[in-house]
Amino acid sequence: MGKYKSPLHEMAETTKTQFWNDSCSIPELTYALEHGAVGATTNPVIVNQVLKQSLEDYIPTIHNLIIDNPNATEDEIAWLLNERMAIEGAKLLRPVFVRTNGKGGYISIQTNAKYYRNWEKITQQAIHFKSLAPNIMVKMPVTYSGARAIEESTYNGVNINATVSFSVPQAISVAEAIERGLARRLSEGMDNSFLHPVCTIMVGRIEDWLRDVIKAENIDFDPKVLDFSGVAVFKKAYEVFQQKKYTTRLLAAAYRNDYHWTEFIGGDVSLTIPHKWLKKFA
User: What are 205-244's pLDDT values in tens digits?
Assistant: 999 999 999 999 999 888 888 999 999 999 999 999 999 9
- Confidence at residue 1, expressed as pLDDT on a 0 to 100 scale: 52
Rounded alpha-carbon distances, angstroms, from residue 256 to 23, 114, 229, 240: 16, 27, 11, 24
CATH architecture of 18-281: Alpha-Beta Barrel (3.20)
CB-CB neighbours of 150 under 10 Å: 33
Single pTM value for the model: 0.94
CA torsion sign for 47, 42, 139, 62 is positive
Q: Mean pLDDT over all residues of the chain?
A: 95
